[in-house]
Amino acid sequence: MSSVRRFLVLVLLAVITLVIFLAASQSYRNTLSASSTLFDRQLLAVADALNGLPLPTESALPDAPNVMTSDGEFIFQIWFHDRLLLTTSGLQAAPLTSRTSGVREENLQGQRWQVLAQYYPATGYWVMVAQPLHHRIELSEEMILATLMPLALSLPLLALLISLAVRQGLSPLRQLTGELETKRADDLSPLHLTYQQEELKPVVATINSLLQRLQQSFERERRFASDAAHELRTPLSVLKINLHNLEKELEHTPENLLLLKQGVERMSHVVDQILMLNRTNPEHFSVQFKKVDLYKLCQQVITELYPQIAQKQQQISLHGQAAVLPGDEFSLRLLLQNLLTNANKYSPVKSQIDITVSATTEGTELIVADSGPGLSEAEYARVFDRFYRVGGDRHQSGVPGCGLGLAIVEHVVNLYHGRITLGHSEALGGLQVRVVFPLGGEDD
């Protein structure tokens, strides 16, 4: 049972139980009052009956009162002035109550009694009739239990009916939840529910408005990426060509020209990295995965980057076996390119780069280790920040960079809900990057 449904059912049951309790309390008081009135009338009827008995007249008063046995329901006395004429057995020769007409409670024979004293002027008799008070309470309790027992027994059925009613009432909310859960990451179309309650219409309207704004925002980003690719890459390419021609025309390349050339290369690299980072945004990330062999993909990326690896006379080795995982080839290729490019750039000449691909109980594991200078543990977290470089632009390697490589790698790993950790390579002495892609790939 969901939390909202449980809350509603419990609250409704608690309110109903409280109302039943309050009604029972009031019903008990009303029943007790009604039964008291009924029993008082019964006492009066008994007194009237006793007054009609053939008793001695004033001229023939007995020396001792007549005694009658009682069944325990009633005890009574009949007095004529100060003479006791008739009494139930076991009573003392004293009035049950004061000689004042009315009904009152008295303590008699170790318990509480309801006593009626009634004077009859026609005969001059005081008739006193008493009944145990617990009889009234027992009757009231029996009546209230008879009323409440069906209600108490019906509470489980009432809880079931309330639960079904609440479930039916929350069905539009469940439908909305189902619609949201089944939406793909790239599906920003409006929600259309089969039926809507008035309370749910503003929620659906707000969600649709948000989806529309997100769609417009993503469209602007896509247009920006397309425009940036044209407006930035083309002038940079022209600038590179002109710099190359200028370098050919000059007999000696001035230092300023070399610095300008490095700046243009760095700007071109930053533009490429930003555009690649944009292509791996979650909203652009395809959920239509296909099977990708990470080991085979590593071979392809090594082949692509081998010219710059060979330029530094570095040795690169690939270990492991085929490891197939569901994913997007572009994003995985981008991850490998950045990891291998970093290892190549920041490792010295004639250094070693090792790549290991394996399938573990955690998922598909990728390890890239090099024999470069590595990183201090204090820098492990910061190197994932965008545009952050250890040592800034004056990195000890002297290699130009923009500080986006590991940020892109972490971004891709997060898209796959994977895990990336940095450490020290025991075998090579440099940086070791460990990436684990969980079993099953990205959650749909």
Residue 427 pLDDT greater than 80, yes or no: yes
Averaged pLDDT score across all residues of the chain: 79
Which tokens go with 156? 């489980």
Rg, the chain, Cα only: 49
**Which amino acid does the sequence have at 387?**
F
350, 428 Cβ separation under 8 angstroms: no
67-81: average pLDDT: 76
Residues contacting residue 114 through CB under 8 Å, at least 6 positions apart = 36, 39, 40, 43, 103, 104, 105, 130, 131, 132, 133, 136
Residues contacting residue 12 through CB under 8 Å, at least 6 positions apart = 162, 166
Per-residue pLDDT reduced to its tens digit, 152-168: 788 788 888 888 888 77
Least confident range from 20-24, 205-209, 212-216, 257-261: namely: 257-261
Which tokens go with 209? 């408005």
Hey, what CATH topology would domain 3-155 get? Beta-Lactamase (3.30.450)
Better-predicted residue by pLDDT, 220 or 394: 220
**Positive or negative CA dihedral for 340, 342, 348, 353?**
negative
Residue 429 pLDDT greater than 50, yes or no: yes
Please tell me the predicted confidence (pLDDT) of residue 444.
41
Which tokens go with 54? 């053939």
Please tell me the predicted confidence (pLDDT) of residue 216.
82
Q: How many helical (H) and strand (E) elements, i.e. helices and strands, does the chain have?
A: 9, 13
Please tell me the predicted confidence (pLDDT) of residue 443.
44
352-365: average pLDDT: 90
Residues contacting residue 268 through CB under 8 Å, at least 6 positions apart = 233, 236, 240
Hey, what CATH topology would domain 286-438 get? Heat Shock Protein 90 (3.30.565)
In the chain the first and final C-alpha atoms are separated, in Å, by 25
Q: What are phi and psi of 219, to 5 degrees?
A: -65, -40
Residue 394 pLDDT greater than 50, yes or no: no
Residues contacting residue 3 through CB under 8 Å, at least 6 positions apart = none
Residue 2 pLDDT greater than 60, yes or no: no
231-257: average pLDDT: 76
197-222: average pLDDT: 79
Distance between CA atoms of 414 and 394, rounded to whole angstroms? 30
In the chain, domain spans: 3-155, 184-284, 286-438
The percent of residues in the chain predicted with pLDDT above 70, rounded, is 82
Please tell me the predicted confidence (pLDDT) of residue 261.
74
Please tell me the predicted confidence (pLDDT) of residue 317.
92
Highest mean pLDDT: which range of 13-27, 46-60, 218-232, 295-309: 295-309
The percent of residues in the chain predicted with pLDDT above 90, rounded, is 11
Question: Helix axis angle, 201-249 relative to 171-182, nearest 10°?
Answer: 10
Please tell me the predicted confidence (pLDDT) of residue 357.
93
Residue 109 pLDDT greater than 80, yes or no: no
Residue 277 pLDDT greater than 50, yes or no: yes
pLDDT band for position 302 (cuts 50, 70, 90): very high
Residue 350 pLDDT greater than 80, yes or no: yes
Residue with tokens 């080839």: 329
Q: Which of 127, 138, 82, 78 is nearest to 101 (CA)?
A: 127
The whole-model pTM stands at: 0.49
List for the chain the helix, strand, coil content (%; round to 5). Answer: 50, 20, 30
**1 secondary structure, DSSP code:** -
pLDDT band for position 82 (cuts 50, 70, 90): confident
355, 368 Cβ separation under 8 angstroms: yes
Residue 412 pLDDT greater than 80, yes or no: yes
Please tell me the predicted confidence (pLDDT) of residue 355.
93
For 3-33, give one letter per residue: b (16+ CB within 10 A) or e. eebeebbeebeeeeeeebeeebeebbeebbe
Which tokens go with 276? 């690649």
Highest mean pLDDT: which range of 97-111, 189-203, 225-239: 97-111
Please tell me the predicted confidence (pLDDT) of residue 108.
81
Other C-beta atoms lying within 10 Å of the C-beta of residue 305? 17
Please tell me the predicted confidence (pLDDT) of residue 297.
92
Angle at 220 between CA 216 and CA 223, to 5 degrees: 135
Distance between CA atoms of 337 and 49, rounded to whole angstroms? 114
Please tell me the predicted confidence (pLDDT) of residue 56.
65
Hey, what CATH topology would domain 184-284 get? Helix Hairpins (1.10.287)
Distance between CA atoms of 112 and 80, rounded to whole angstroms? 26
